[in-house]
């Protein structure tokens, strides 16, 4: 995965009023969750980061390993959860998950279709059903995207998660989930009917 740097400042006032003030100042309230626990629940480090830096990792199709610098303390993390305003879609809160080299993580990886499908050549339409597949692996082994070869895919056929495999990655999305398929278009159907009619007309009738 690509790496990106994000800075932050610890916050002690966790109330709604303080969070609102932070947002007005161009900062976004954040939490960093690691392995530390308190009363059986994950212990979070509360901090705030500039919206100008978070925008680069939130509004993008890419996934990143994030080098967090919180008041001089360095952490390696990934995005865990985003909270947006239900009306304005403004970013309200970000949760990060701290990662290390030994502990596998589960994360959604973007799907990248590779090749020109036979079904598309025949006039069908490619349909991408899911944009990400959940995988589990140490973060250093996780790629930026998962290549799915669609070259041999024909009209009416699909590729499911269970048909895919990648070295070093455990796929966590259900095997029955359809990744992509090729649908028959009206143009392709018309062409198929025309081809059938031409074949029938050119076939000599038995005496």
User: How many domains does the chain divide into?
Assistant: 2
pTM greater than 0.85 (yes/no): no
CB atoms inside a 10 Å sphere around CB 5: 12
Residue 53, CA distances (Å) to 26, 89, 108, 159 in order: 10, 17, 22, 37
Q: How far apart are CA 130 and CA 119, in angstroms?
A: 19
Same domain, 79 and 25: yes
126 in helix, strand or coil? strand
Same domain, 21 and 79: yes
Question: Does residue 180 belong to any structural domain of this protein?
Answer: yes
- Closest listed residue to residue 71, CA positions, set 11, 10, 13: 10
Same domain, 148 and 92: no
Q: How far apart are CA 190 and CA 75, in angstroms?
A: 59
pLDDT (tens digit per residue) in 7-62:
999 988 878 888 888 999 999 999 999 876 666 676 789 999 999 999 999 988 88
Q: Are 100 and 60 in contact (CB under 8 A)?
A: no
Question: Does residue 207 belong to any structural domain of this protein?
Answer: no
Q: What is the pLDDT of residue 37?
A: 65
Same domain, 94 and 153: no
Q: How far apart are CA 140 and CA 132, in angstroms?
A: 18
Tens of pLDDT along the chain (207 residues) come to 889 999 999 988 878 888 888 999 999 999 999 876 666 676 789 999 999 999 999 988 888 999 999 999 999 999 999 999 999 989 999 999 999 888 899 999 999 999 999 999 999 999 999 999 999 999 999 999 999 999 999 999 999 999 999 999 999 999 999 999 999 886 656 655 555 555 555 555 554
Same domain, 142 and 181: yes
Kindly report the CA angle at 134 between 91 and 139, in degrees rounded to 5? 85
Boundary of a domain, candidates 43, 67, 99:
99
Same domain, 89 and 15: yes
Residue 102 is given by DSSP the state S
Domain encompassing residue 26: 2-99
Burial class (CB in 10 A: 0-12, 13-18, 19+), 17: exposed
- Quick one: how far is CA 139 from the chain centroid? 15
Alpha helices in the chain (DSSP H): 16-24, 51-58, 118-121, 186-202
């Amino acid at each position: 995965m690509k790496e990106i740097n994000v800075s932050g400042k610890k916050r002690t006032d966790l109330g709604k009023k303080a969070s609102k003030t932070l947002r007005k100042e161009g900062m976004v309230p954040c939490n960093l969750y690691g392995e530390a626990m308190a009363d059986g629940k994950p212990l979070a480090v509360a901090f705030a980061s500039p919206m100008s830096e978070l925008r680069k990792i939130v509004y993008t199709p890419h996934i990143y390993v994030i080098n967090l610098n919180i008041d001089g303390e360095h952490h390696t993390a990934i995005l865990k959860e985003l909270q947006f305003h239900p009306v304005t879609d403004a970013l309200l809160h970000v949760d990060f998950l701290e990662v290390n080299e030994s502990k596998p993580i589960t994360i959604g990886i973007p799907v990248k279709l590779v090749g020109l499908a036979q079904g598309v050549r025949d006039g069908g339409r490619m349909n991408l059903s899911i944009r990400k597949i959940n995988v589990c692996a140490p973060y250093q082994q996780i790629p930026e995207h998962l290549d799915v070869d669609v070259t041999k895919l024909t009209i009416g056929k699909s590729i499911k998660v269970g048909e895919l495999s990648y070295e070093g990655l455990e796929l966590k999305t259900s095997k029955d989930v359809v990744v992509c398929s090729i649908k028959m278009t009206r143009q392709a159907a018309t062409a198929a009917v025309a081809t059938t009619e031409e074949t029938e007309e050119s076939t000599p009738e038995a005496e």
